[in-house]
Structure 1
Amino acid sequence: MSRPHDDGPFFHGTKADLQVGDLLRAGFRSNYRPEVVMNHIYFTALRDGAGLAAELAAGDGTPRVYAVEPTGPFEDDPNVTDKKFPGNPTRSYRSRDPLRVLGEVTDWTRLTSEALQTWRDRLAELRADERGEIIN
């Protein structure tokens, strides 16, 4: 796994209530295709990108964004980079190694209910379209 040239800071969005020092690991169901158990843990260098992930995460909890640090090598997330978009405009990454929680971030931009519904509709379309397959 090659390490992209990005020094962060890095963020992870979720509905889980986490503490400083907690480790986020792969092996959970995808928020975007629940039938898929993920081989990687995903994160981004864009605070609001993590906020979007938090808003779309499964579950009923409060959307949260955490500052995280990778504990091992990481790579560009192929679900939103060269396989689907040129480069890495979303500064999205994945790792097989855990992410360590550094703290919660509260100054991220929340989506309007309309924007959130638009994203949910897009995800529903991707689930119905085989081209929306997750590269795991």
Structure 2
Amino acid sequence: MPPVPADNGPFYHGTRADLRIGDLLVAGNPSNYRPSIRMNHVYFTALPAPAALAAALAPGEARERVYIVTPTGPFEDDPNVTDQKFPGNPTRSYRSAAPLRIVGELEGWTRLTPEERAAWRARIAAITGDIIN
């Protein structure tokens, strides 16, 4: 694994899962963007907006949530949105093979409008590249 980024957070994870403080988010779940792929990492960000996007695009009908998380092990820049597609890491997005611990839930974050959600779903449906897993 590459060197650990020098980002101290706080960190966020967007989902529709109903979790509690102390719960762990673990790798091995289906991708939100390609459900046929089991992810080798769990993804998170140091910015609320990308976590809100992940919550909006997560499958299911449950309430969108943005959790405050802490990595339990090493993590790296998410190659799906960093140097492969954007220079550097402007979204401060990361991934870890180690679990993330839920330490809180962010309140008052900005949710996507139905139009924004539809536009993002269309963008994702048009992507033909591989997910770097």
- Aligned-pair identity (%): 64
Q: TM-score, normalised by structure 2?
A: 0.97
What residue is the counterpart of 1:14 in the other structure?
A: 15
What SS class does the counterpart of residue 114 from structure 1 fall into? helix
SS in 1 for 2:53: helix
How far has the Cα of 1:108 moved from its partner? 1.0
* SS of residue matched to 1:89: coil
Structure 1 runs (4+) deviating above 3 angstroms are none
The answer to whether the aligner puts 1:52 opposite 2:49 as a matched pair is: no
Q: Residue 124 of structure 2: SS of its match in structure 1?
A: helix
CA distance in 2, matches of 1:93, 1:66: 15
Equivalent residue runs for 1:20-59 within 5 Å: 20-59=21-60
Q: Which runs of 5+ in 2 are unaligned?
A: none
Return the alpha-carbon distance in structure 1 between the equivalents of residues 55 and 61 of structure 2.
11
CA RMSD of aligned residues (A): 0.6
Q: d(CA) in 1 for partners of 2:111 and 2:93?
A: 19
1:69 is paired with a residue whose SS is strand
What residue ranges of structure 1 are gaps of 5+ in the alignment?
A: none
Paired residues, number: 132
User: Where do residues 53-68 of structure 1 align in structure 2 (5 Å cutoff)?
Assistant: 53-68=54-69
Distance in 2 (alpha carbons) for counterparts of 1:59 and 1:40: 21
Matched to 2:131, the amino acid is I
User: TM-score when scaled to structure 1?
Assistant: 0.95
By how many angstroms is 1:34 displaced?
0.8
